[in-house]
Chains A and B, each alone.
Chain A
Amino acid sequence: MIKNGTRLKSQVCDTQVIVVKTAASLDDLRCGGQPMLPLDAERPADAAPEATFSDGSTMGKRYVDDGGAEVLVTKAGVGSLSVGTTPLVVKEAKPLPASD
């Protein structure tokens, strides 16, 4: 299973994520419909996101699946995140007032 703290990047856009809470589902983590790569991997030159996975990822948002997995977007891109073909959803947080 992929380790917490692992950083991944999209092969089809600028998206980068870090694994906050791992789960077996993340073995099939995709961005823009394509499997995500280790941060230091080469990105294919001609790759583009699939039309159904091109809603984009948002900087600083946490994305979750229904199996407890959580990733944080550390760089935004035009591809959207999914596990297999199931899109990840943004974890909605109630805004807290600044406390320190």
Chain B
Amino acid sequence: MSISLLLEMAASDGPDRVAIVDGDIRLTTEGLSALADGGAGLITASGASHVVYVGTGGVLLPLLLFSSARANTAFTPLNYRLSPDGLRQLIDRLPDPLIVVDLEYRDVVAGFGERLMTSDEFIEVARSTEPVSAFADPDDVAVVLFTSGTTSRPKAVELTHNNLTSYITGTVEFGSADTADAALVCVPPYHIAGVGAALSNLYAGRAIVYLRQFNPHQWVRLVRDERVTTATVVPTMLSRIVAVLEAQSADLPTLRNVAYGGSKVARPLVRRALDLLPGVGFVNAYGLTETSSTIAILTPEDHRLAHEARDGAVARRLTSVGRPVPDIEVQIRAEDGALLGPGATGELFVRGPQVSGRYAEIGSVLDAQGWFPTKDLAMLDAEGYLFIGGRSDDTIIRGGENIAPSEIEDVLVEHPDVREVVVVGLANPEWGQIIVAVIVLETGAVLAPEELREFARSQLRGSRTPDRIVFREELPTTPTGKVLRREILENLTPAAAEH
């Protein structure tokens, strides 16, 4: 099944329904479909083997996604914040691309290829080009996304039509949204959640309202002006939205559902959000680029029960990513490959039709039975709730003992003076690695390192108490809020900033 069929179904079921709101641009499902047909004609005529997009997204994301699908050409949205060098390195890895670029980034990619046009030009030419609708095999690659490369060179993840449509038909009921529903999408176009949002909302029959560059004040204004009913954010966005709502009114009468994901979220933030917006259902969505977005969901009901419980196993689920979506199987494996039961931490393996596990230049990393190693540490509780403990690469080995940073981070972030915390392992001749907690304090807070160490010691084993506490004004992150641990480590010299 081609992703193009998702649009075809939406357009035949509700041709006049609003599909996209992007500033002054409003497109119906039929309007989007017609434009994508012309876009496919344009791409086919260009002779390109790949379509690349450099820009802030909005209508361009679904338009290029479906135009490329109908031209049976793979599509890659790139991070528009990358340097010219960074962009060039990625574009050079894609075959004969047509580069579509927002006007403001045109100079950044000038000279990168023979085929280059601005987003406005693409739309204008697509309007007057003969439609094309090529047949895509389900196993053809629809989208190639680069991983954020926080730990290594970005990898080019290949998502087939079958991966993406399996995700949509397996998790979204066609036409299930109410006619007045609108989703506010502010995740960037090059993120898997941006691709997922374009497909899932269209299939559900929900209008997509785009906020191309996140700003918490504009987010709140758009929720009110466009009568937004659902929204997706990454944790750093949620934190800034909560701050704005705490400072003014938290009145968002139409908002029913907020999904967050993309990186780890601190429990105090979730509690603040739940208290501030009691009428809103929160959804924690966990997924990877390689799994075509969401593979586990903590539902609004799960949130409510965990929030009310206050302690015990149910309360702890507020830090869980919930349970797997219907067509996904999960396994937790020890380092020697042995299958682990509830309560034990190991590497998370997943399997299902939406899982790609395939990279350009590398090939498939699925094992013989089709399981994908996520490189995430995880644990399942007795009820099947999944807890993610960070990347296995980030594991600290101190004196022979394996320590997941998240275990310490979850404790420290509960201290009232701590706003953000990252725990890393720093090379040390005596211990192999020592535990360093890098802390961002709440505004105006003053905290002695020893006081925080004592706080940790009261709740963790001694060997898990940070050896060193370092304070920072802010933490380096990717635009989607993933903390750049490698950069933090590089800036920690063995002797400097010691407390």
A residues at B contact (CB < 8 Å): 4-5, 18, 20, 59-62, 72, 74-75, 93-100
Contact = CB atoms under 8 A, between A and B. Distances in A.
B319 interface: no
A55 B326 CA distance: 28
Contacts of B326: 93-94, 96
Contacts of A97: 257, 259, 281, 283, 297, 299-300
A95 B196 contact: no
B252 interface: no
The 10 A-B residue pairs with the shortest CB-CB distance in the complex, in nearest-first order: A60-B174, A99-B285, A100-B196, A5-B138, A100-B193, A99-B294, A98-B230, A100-B197, A99-B259, A97-B283
B275 interface: no
B9 A98 contact: no
A100 B293 contact: yes
Interface stretch (B41-49, B198-206, B388-396, B431-439): B198-206
Contacts of A96: 171-172, 297, 299, 325-326
A18 B5 contact: yes
Contact of A4 (B162, B204, B300): B162
Nearest to A75: B12
Contacts of B175: 59-60
Interface size classification for chain B: 35 or more
Interface in B1-24: 1-2, 5, 8-9, 12-13
B331 interface: no
Given A59-B13, A61-B174, A75-B12, A100 B285 contact: yes
Interface string B196-229: 1100110110100000000000000000000000
Nearest to A97: B283
Given A59-B175, A62-B169, A72-B169, A98 B283 contact: yes
Nearest to A21: B353
Contacts of B232: 98-100
Contacts of A4: 1, 138, 162
B261 A99 contact: yes
B9 A59 contact: yes
B159 to A, nearest CB: 14
B9 A74 contact: yes
Contacts of A95: 173, 176
Contact of B1 (A20, A60, A93, A94): A20
Given A18-B1, A20-B166, A100-B294, 12 more contacts: A5-B1, A59-B9, A60-B203, A74-B9, A93-B326, A96-B299, A97-B297, A99-B232, A99-B283, A100-B196, A100-B200, A100-B232
